[in-house]
């Protein structure tokens, strides 16, 4: 079932709240450490260290321009398509990446983004896994090129962890890090 409540991650009030919850030292720590994160367990440790949820951590990292070279963080859930309300499958709910370099559509299936998703579907709660795959990413072209983005399939190392969602929707979700391999 789709979450009927809006995603507040990008809402100005959410950004303000996340800023209030972190000290200046915490924000500097996030800016320094975030680009070095190698897997979802590292992300959870950093979030715990600074007292934020993983989603609030993504927001603070984005607001403070923490570089994410060749890394794409995904939040993935088993959902129906948000527009057609059909085809329940593992779908990208949110994506966090360098928007000056990439574009990753949300609502697309994980299988479309990274091929077979069977390696992830049976992962137990709290467990993590690594997988290699070709991922479908849109790369930004230098201005004034048209089209603005070009789709490419590139090799990546995927690290994923299955987590419990909020009490509100009681469904598990996955944190996935796609780290692009040398092209």
Residues 43 and 87 in one domain: no
Q: For residue 46, what are the domain limits?
A: 1-67
Same domain, yes or no: 101 and 170: yes
Specify whether 40 is located in the same domain as 114.
Answer: no
Determine the pLDDT at residue 170. Answer: 65
Same domain, 57 and 40: yes
Q: What is the pLDDT of residue 165?
A: 73
SS percent in the chain: helix, strand, coil, step 5: 30, 30, 40
d(CA 92, CA 115): 13
Tell me the C-alpha distance between 20 and 80, whole Å: 35
Q: What is the pLDDT of residue 80?
A: 94
CB 20 within 8 A of CB 13: no
Residue 113's pLDDT is 96
Pull the structure tokens for residue 105: 């559509």
Residues 95 and 174 reside in one and the same domain: yes
* 176 and 94 in a common domain: yes
Which of 16, 43, 67 terminates a domain? The answer is 67
pTM for this entry: 0.84
Tens of pLDDT, residue by residue, the chain (183 residues) = 333 333 334 445 445 655 667 788 888 888 888 889 999 999 999 999 988 888 888 888 877 666 777 999 999 999 999 999 999 999 999 999 988 889 999 999 999 999 989 998 888 988 999 999 999 999 999 888 889 999 999 999 999 999 987 666 667 899 999 999 865
User: Does residue 75 share a domain with residue 26?
Assistant: no
């Amino acid at each position: 079932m789709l979450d009927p409540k809006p995603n507040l991650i990008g809402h100005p009030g959410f950004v303000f709240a996340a800023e209030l919850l972190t000290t200046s030292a915490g924000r500097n720590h996030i800016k320094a450490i975030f680009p070095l994160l190698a897997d979802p367990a590292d992300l959870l440790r950093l979030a715990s260290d600074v007292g934020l949820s993983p989603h609030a951590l993504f927001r603070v990292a984005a607001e403070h321009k923490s570089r994410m070279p060749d890394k794409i963080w995904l939040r993935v859930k088993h959902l129906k398509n948000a527009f057609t309300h059909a085809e329940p499958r593992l779908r990208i709910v949110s994506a966090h990446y360098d928007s000056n370099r990439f574009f990753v559509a949300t609502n697309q299936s994980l299988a479309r983004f990274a091929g077979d998703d069977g390696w992830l579907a049976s992962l137990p709660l709290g467990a993590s896994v690594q997988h290699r795959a070709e991922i479908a990413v849109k790369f930004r072209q230098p201005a004034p090129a048209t089209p603005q983005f070009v789709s490419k399939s590139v090799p990546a190392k995927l690290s994923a962890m299955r987590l419990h969602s909020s009490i509100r929707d009681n469904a598990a979700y996955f944190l996935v890090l796609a780290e692009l391999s040398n092209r």
